[in-house]
Amino acid sequence: MLALALVTGLTETGAGVGGQPEIRVSLHVRGSDFSFDTAARLLAGEGRRASLDAGKIVVLVDPATHAVQIDWSRSALVNGLVPARFTLAEDETSYDLSGQTGPLMEILQLLWAGGVSLNRAVDAHCDPTLRERLQEIVRRTAAGQPGPDQAEPTPDA
């Protein structure tokens, strides 16, 4: 399952490999049916560090075991570190959703559920239902209308 995690702590361990420092990262992970805290040690080069410093990362979660794997590509999208541009063929209009966490997570979860890879430009023409849902999210976001509950995670009080 794809989820958004709030970075609640970053500590350099003093170790590292190949010029990349090792960092201890504390996370608060929350999905629709779960919420938990976890920590990991990882090597954080410039790109990874930028996502961590942004305060939120996209993770793949096993809700049963709480095993977490950071998805660096999706994290860069959600944090606005890489462009997230969508062109709707019907009206030839391009929309820039870069750094808009809620709508991008909604889109990423939709693509994940549909088995669509982010290794290339996404072409939803072969799946009319997927295309319609993506268009609705993009247009709603461009119009400034709120979507489903896509609030960023906050530590439980």
pLDDT 10s digit of each residue in the chain, 157 long?
Answer: 999 999 999 999 988 898 889 999 999 999 888 999 999 999 988 889 999 999 999 999 998 899 999 999 999 999 999 999 888 877 888 899 998 999 999 999 998 888 877 766 666 667 788 889 999 999 999 888 766 654 444 444 3
Tokens 């997230």, residue located: 84
CA dist 51 and 110 (Å) reads 22
Both 60 and 94 in one domain: the answer is: no
Structure tokens at 39: 């920590």
Both 71 and 94 in one domain: the answer is: no
Q: Find the angle CA(81)-CA(62)-CA(32) to the nearest 5 degrees.
A: 75
Residue 93 belongs to domain spanning: 85-142
For residue 74, is it left (φ>0), alpha (ψ between -120 and 50) or beta? alpha
CA dist 46 and 52 (Å) reads 10
Residue 149 domain flag: no
The kind and range of the H/E element at 12 are: strand 2-17
Which of 53, 76, 99 is the C-terminal boundary of a domain? 76
CA dist 152 and 140 (Å) reads 18
Both 60 and 32 in one domain: the answer is: yes
Both 47 and 95 in one domain: the answer is: no
Res 117: pLDDT: 75
Residue 52 domain flag: yes
Which of 21, 53, 76 is the C-terminal boundary of a domain? 76
Both 67 and 133 in one domain: the answer is: no
Both 7 and 71 in one domain: the answer is: yes
Both 91 and 35 in one domain: the answer is: no
Residue 64 domain flag: yes
Q: What is the CA radius of gyration of the chain?
A: 17
Number of domains in the chain: 2
Res 151: pLDDT: 46
Res 156: pLDDT: 46
- Tell me the residue length of the chain: 157
CB atoms within 10 A of CB 6: 17
Residue 155 domain flag: no
Both 72 and 43 in one domain: the answer is: yes
Classified as helix, coil or strand, 140 is helix
What separation, in Å, do the N-terminal and C-terminal C-alpha atoms of the chain show?
A: 24
Both 112 and 50 in one domain: the answer is: no
Contact present, 51 and 74 (Cβ < 8 Å): no
